[in-house]
Amino acid sequence: MSFFQKLKQSLAKTTQVLAGRIKALVKGRKIDDALWEEVEEILLTSDVGPDATTELVASARLAAKNGEILSGDDLVPWLRSAVAARLRPDEADIRWNAGGTTVILIAGVNGSGKTTSIAKLCKFLRARNKTVIVAACDTFRAAAVDQLGIWAKRLDVGFVGGSNNADPAAVAFDAAESAASKGVDVLIVDTAGRLHTQKNLMDELSKITRVLGKRIPGAPHETLLVLDGTAGQNGLQQTRAFREHANVTGLIVSKLDGTAKGGVVLSIKDQLKLPVKFVGTGESADDFAPFYADAFSSALFGEDETR
């Protein structure tokens, strides 16, 4: 199945609420104020967020006035392209380190999907012939190290892990050393889940960041925060907190398959001004898609791929 098909499938719940309800609402209906209010309510239900909702509805009203939206049936395709336009500047490839190993640090709250997203990223990179090492810096739990080790073996990537309770920053340094000396393309660093209120854990994240930069200039080149898509607006709060401690460069939104609020990606874009780089669409290593605004928007509205 293509990335697009998976994305579309994982957004099915959101599509049902969003496009499904809008389509049912506008069918054969005349465009009036009452209709716009209902459209607004549907967008908010899908977690599109107040700013994007207000702006989308205002531009749609204008488009209707200008004759670009003649009947209710024109509305869904119009929204699809308006949403794509809002998200488009968000498209982003990985920030590659042209001079050596690209280091990607993965952070987030407990259970957000960090380790699984790393497995997915490994598979994505291996399919592009990149060599990869993963570092298990979640050293508090032996199970966490094992979980990453098992994925590494399965996905044909290198693995660096410390002993139980090893200093996570020391493991990060060893991994950077190993990746740089072997000329590996990408090093992905897994970290323990943490809350912004846990000061020592946040300090530890800063320390891991510093140590990586000591061995590989400019590292980490990406610090990706994994946000659980089902957490809705809480995810926005978490991101703000993490940004105070780490130079977050982008987001992975996981578990889109488990929510009807996939519109949260628009809220993220409005409020955080951070690029969404990948989305998680299920529990297996294949359930992952790079973020492209047009594809996302088409999938969100249940339409076919536009390019």
Contact footprint for Mg ion (CB under 5 A): 114-115
Indicate which single residue of 8, 80, 114, 269 sits in contact with ligand GTP (rule: CB under 6 A).
114
Indicate which single residue of 15, 112, 239, 249 sits in contact with ligand GTP (rule: CB under 6 A).
112
The radius of gyration computed from the CA coordinates of the chain, to the nearest angstrom, equals: 21
Question: Rounded to the nearest whole angstrom, what is the least distance from the CB of residue 142 to ligand GTP in the complex?
Answer: 12
Of the two residues 85 and 150, which places its CB atom closer to ligand GTP in the complex?
150
Question: Rounded to the nearest whole angstrom, what is the least distance from the CB of residue 169 to ligand GTP in the complex?
Answer: 17
Please check whether residue 246 is in contact with residue 209, taking contact to mean a CB–CB distance below 8 angstroms.
yes
Chain residue whose CB lies nearest ligand GTP: 193
Amino acid letter, residue 233:
Q
Please check whether residue 186 is in contact with residue 234, taking contact to mean a CB–CB distance below 8 angstroms.
no
149 near ligand GTP, rule: CB under 6 A: no
In the window 180-239, what residues touch ligand GTP (CB under 6 A)?
193
In the window 92-111, what residues touch ligand GTP (CB under 6 A)?
108, 110-111
Indicate which single residue of 258, 260, 286, 290 sits in contact with ligand GTP (rule: CB under 6 A).
258
Residue 67's Cβ-count burial label (10 Å; 0-12, 13-18, 19+) is: exposed
Q: Which does 275 bind (CB under 5 to 8 A by kind): ligand GTP, Mg ion, none?
A: none
20 near ligand GTP, rule: CB under 6 A: no
113 near ligand GTP, rule: CB under 6 A: yes
CA 6 – CA 189 distance, rounded (Å): 26
Q: How many CB atoms lie within 10 A of CB 145?
A: 23
Residue 3: CA atoms inside 13 Å, Cβ hemisphere, count?
Answer: 14
The DSSP symbol for 260 reads: S
Please check whether residue 146 is in contact with residue 129, taking contact to mean a CB–CB distance below 8 angstroms.
no
116 near ligand GTP, rule: CB under 6 A: yes
Residue in the structure block whose two tokens are 């088409």: 298
Question: Rounded to the nearest whole angstrom, what is the least distance from the CB of residue 93 to ligand GTP in the complex?
Answer: 21
Chain residue whose CB lies nearest Mg ion: 115
